Amino acid sequence: MDLTRREMIKMSAAGFAAAALNISLPTTSAANEEIVVDKWIKGTCRFCGTGCGIYAGVRNGQLAGIRGNPQAVTNFGFLCVKGFKGYISMYHPDRLKFPMMRGADDKFHKVSWDDALNKVANKFKELQEKFGKDSVAFYGSGQCMTEESYTFNKLWKGGFRSNMVEGNPRLCMASAVGGYITTFGTDEPAGSYADIEKARTIFIVGSNMAECHPILFRRVARHKLQNPDNVNIMVCEPRLTPTARIADVWLPADPGTDLAVFHCMARELIKNNWTDAWYINNLCRFSTGAQDVDFKAYVDFLEQFTPEAVEKITRCPAGNIKEAARLFGSHGPSMSLWTMGLNQRTRGVWANNLIHNLHLISGNICKEGADSFSITGQPNACGGVRETGSLCQLLPGTRSVTDAAARADVEKSWKLPPGTIDPKPGFHTMEMFAKLGAENDQTKPLKAMLTSTTNPAQSLPNAPKYFKGMKEGFLVVLDIFPTRTTQLADVILPAAFIYEKGGVYGCSERRSQLTQKCVDPPGEAKSDVWIAAQIAKRMGMERLIPWNGDDPQIAYQMAWDDYRECVKLTEHSLYGMTYDRLKQLEAGLQWPCPDEKSPGTARRYVRGYDPIMNMPEIVKVPSSALIYFYGDKKHEGKANVLLRPYKGAEEPPDKDYPFFLTTGRVIEQWHTGTMTMRVAEIARSKPNAYLEIHPSDAKEYGIKEGDMVKIASRRGFNILPARVVKNSLPGILFVPWFDQEWDRMINRVTIDAFDEGSKQPEFKICAVKIEKLGEPKDVSDMYIISDPNAPFPEKV
């Protein structure tokens, strides 16, 4: 880089930063943006559910830089390390560049697209004829674009008449969906990120935002720093994470015990009169789930959860719980934010319900700064999977397949004969993988699966249990890199990265944003929509999925328009979000957005904000109602305050397995590390997984920093270097889950028990034992699977 260019870049870079903060800098006005890149294209980051707006700089046909979009109201121009660096992985030489099929020698061989697609379509047809329409499954991802999930969902539910459609959001968000639906009757939060800056108390639960959603955390931290005496942060989380470090009140409850903490907080709210009588009388219905009860029954139910009793169950100090309740109830508006720590549990739905309870009885919802807000982990778990209904029990608009009216509406929109869509839900994720297997295995009704943009062989809990099914079933994998899952596949289809195709992502705050195509994909890689449409065409369903042309921008827009039409008359309507509007608007739009004049909706259920309140063709809301939970199945506009009994983890520690194991992310790495581990600096800064252990436990087991430790559950083991840290309570171990290396793949250890309601597994909690194996060893190998033909490490 010569000096002139370097100086130009410096001035441009400073100019962008200044613009983001509305600062005018005379020194940068000389910088010529055109010199830095040929063009800037608006889009979103794909590395978490925050939905940060970016501009991608293209120079000589390739991406040369990413900058935050200062007008994006999600991030105001700021990005984290993954946002800046993650995209670089798309240029890694390991990219899958052509279709491959496994040959008789059990090795992958390069084939043409025609051969690969014909093989997939013919095999799917053959299996469906032989074993029925439900013998072939789709398993997608919260990282697929909305148009992609919608297309696959339509092909399966409308074309194959099969609800065997799932996606990895089942593993991260399903309990949040279950929580919203059982409490409010409909999915997703009422408020927006903008409530963060209006809240006076922020309750962060089961979320290490500082590492997993750094830009949202930045908003929280800045709000606190600018108002140190007036804003309180409370964190309920067993580890003293970087998030918990800024807390005014830390609630360190043992994993899986926080239901008792939330009930105790509710009890304190009521005992101290920190409740809102109007909300209780007008917006709350008290219910056990099976039957409605009155407020007194709720009060009586809570009586068992005294602070002292709860401290015994949870190890969380009684005084901290009381203080948390005081701040929540008397120092509002209060906003709760949570992620996987609440969801990835066998009582995930209940935990979500109990957070909603706190907001409802204290009147901390549907007001500025007050909301019960689930943050999603993946960039498009909300927009792509929840909203398009790409789960086994759902239809577009997050409607249920068991709802006859919803089925009829979708059939009409898809121009299908009445009765086409099967009313019976398909298999949820864990059932799907448990029932996938060989054609000659009569115990396995699923014979084939197509996965997109996900790596279940590494990301499923208790993963080894499911390897055999993946290996013996007919497995088609769409991805951009070789992974543990491609190692088990029959066909690998090389996919395009977000900036090589474009499309819409919908983030945690119901906001849809369009990314436009920036550059061409490498080799013969293709967009998911093209792949889905080509399979549909070869299976005689071209009329159902007509967007099968080569130009992704046209195909994706056609899919989007079809989707908009399909959900037009639903509470989740985004009919007003045309591609043209999404191209023009810097920050996208939040649904409900029922027509092209709608500015979107920052606050649902509130008259004057939410257009659905005035749309009797969708829901009937009494004209006198100012706040009305129109998802209420009883049409009373109320939300359910649920009396969920206390229940702890599925597998608490015992004498044989005396430790809690909890797992999670780190700031640098994303999910199974397939992309981020290919960015050199990221890989170097977190080159391997490790075991975090409290000094007192380490001492008892004679473990020193760096020692190699075997961690074992009833299902499997890992061998990891120890990090002796005071982050956790004694008795709680932590391992991040990004590492692909066999000995450090922590999902060989985790438990696959799941929530009965949401079917979401309890990744966050299982019982383990440990054993020191030896002295420190350098395992910073930054392991990645580079060769699709690299053998799978275990005989399957």
Residues with catalytic annotation? 82, 172-173, 340, 377-378
- The residue ranges that bind ligand SF4 (CB under 6 A) are 45, 47-48, 50, 52, 75, 79-80, 82-83, 213-215
In the structure encoding, which two tokens stand for residue 79, read together? 């990005």
Binding segment (CB under 8 A) for other proteins, from list 78-86, 184-192, 470-478, 624-632: 78-86
Q: How many residues bind other proteins (CB under 8 A)?
A: 54
Contact residue for other proteins among 35, 53, 74, 79 (CB under 8 A): 79
* 782 Rama class: left (phi>0) / alpha (psi -120 to 50) / beta: left
DSSP per residue, 531-599: HHHHHHHHTT-TTTS---SS-HHHHHHHHHHHHHHHTTTSTT--TT--HHHHHH-TT-EESP--STT--
- Among other proteins, ligand SF4, none, partner that 406 touches (CB below 5 to 8 angstroms by kind): none
Binding segment (CB under 8 A) for other proteins, from list 8-16, 41-49, 500-508, 528-536: 8-16
Binding segment (CB under 8 A) for other proteins, from list 76-84, 304-312, 416-424, 591-599: 76-84
Closest CA to 567 of 170, 164, 150: 150
Between residue 203 and residue 222, which ones bind other proteins under the rule CB under 8 A?
A: 218, 221-222
In the structure encoding, which two tokens stand for residue 610, read together? 């939410």
Q: What is the distance between the alpha carbons of residues 599 and 756, in angstroms, rounded to a whole number? A: 38
Between residue 22 and residue 41, which ones bind other proteins under the rule CB under 8 A?
A: 22-23, 25-28, 36
Contact residue for other proteins among 35, 81, 194, 318 (CB under 8 A): 81
Q: Which is nearer to other proteins, 20 or 493 (CB)?
A: 20
Maximum distance among all Cα pairs of the chain, rounded to whole angstroms? 75
List of residues 6+ apart from 624 with CB closer than 8 A: none
Nearest approach in angstroms of CB 478 to other proteins is 23
Nearest approach in angstroms of CB 89 to other proteins is 8
Nearest approach in angstroms of CB 215 to ligand SF4 is 4
> Long-range contacts for 422-425 (Cβ within 8 Å, ≥24 apart)?
422/133, 422/157, 422/161, 422/162, 422/163, 424/163, 425/163, 425/392, 425/393, 425/401
First-to-last alpha carbon distance for the chain, in angstroms, is: 51
Q: What is the distance between the alpha carbons of residues 375 and 352, in angstroms, rounded to a whole number? A: 12
List of residues 6+ apart from 77 with CB closer than 8 A: 16, 17, 19, 20, 21, 67, 68, 69, 70, 71
Binding segment (CB under 8 A) for other proteins, from list 56-64, 324-332, 467-475, 578-586: 56-64
Nearest approach in angstroms of CB 461 to ligand SF4 is 24
Question: By the 8 A CB rule, do 187 and 180 touch?
Answer: yes
Q: Which is nearer to other proteins, 17 or 712 (CB)?
A: 17
Q: Which is nearer to ligand SF4, 219 or 345 (CB)?
A: 219
Contact residue for other proteins among 1, 3, 290, 405 (CB under 8 A): 1
- Among ligand SF4, other proteins, none, partner that 47 touches (CB below 5 to 8 angstroms by kind): ligand SF4
Binding segment (CB under 8 A) for other proteins, from list 12-20, 319-327, 501-509, 607-615: 12-20
Please, what is the angle between helix 258-271 and helix 295-302, to 10°?
Answer: 120
625 contacts other proteins (rule: CB under 8 A): no
Q: Which is nearer to ligand SF4, 157 or 386 (CB)?
A: 386
DSSP per residue, 163-198: --EEETHHHHTHHHHHHHHHHHSS-S-SS-GGGGGG
Nearest approach in angstroms of CB 82 to other proteins is 11
Nearest approach in angstroms of CB 44 to other proteins is 16
Strands 201-205 and 232-236, sheet pairing? parallel
- Which residues, listed in sequence order, are joined to residue 722 by a DSSP beta bridge? 691
Between residue 673 and residue 692, which ones bind other proteins under the rule CB under 8 A?
A: 678-685
Q: What is the distance between the alpha carbons of residues 271 and 646, in angstroms, rounded to a whole number? A: 20
| Per-residue exposure over 319-350, b if at least 16 CB sit within 10 Å of its own CB, e if not | ebbbbbbbbbbeebbbbbbbbbbbbbbbbbbb
15 contacts other proteins (rule: CB under 8 A): yes
Shortest-Cβ-distance residue relative to ligand SF4: 83
Closest CA to 636 of 133, 302, 281, 117: 281
Binding segment (CB under 8 A) for other proteins, from list 90-98, 166-174, 531-539, 787-795: 90-98
* 30 Rama class: left (phi>0) / alpha (psi -120 to 50) / beta: alpha
Nearest approach in angstroms of CB 676 to ligand SF4 is 10
Q: Which is nearer to other proteins, 63 or 233 (CB)?
A: 63
DSSP class of residue 677?
A: G
Q: Which is nearer to ligand SF4, 45 or 358 (CB)?
A: 45
Exposed, middle or buried, 103 (CB in 10 Å: 0-12/13-18/19+)?
exposed
Q: What is the distance between the alpha carbons of residues 613 and 606, in angstroms, rounded to a whole number? A: 7
Q: Which is nearer to ligand SF4, 28 or 50 (CB)?
A: 50
Q: Which is nearer to other proteins, 218 or 647 (CB)?
A: 218
Nearest approach in angstroms of CB 614 to other proteins is 39
Nearest approach in angstroms of CB 226 to other proteins is 9
Q: Which is nearer to other proteins, 28 or 241 (CB)?
A: 28
Binding interface with other proteins (CB under 8 A) = 1, 6, 9-18, 20-23, 25-28, 36, 57, 59, 62-68, 70, 77-79, 81, 84-85, 88-89, 91-93, 218, 221-222, 225, 678-685
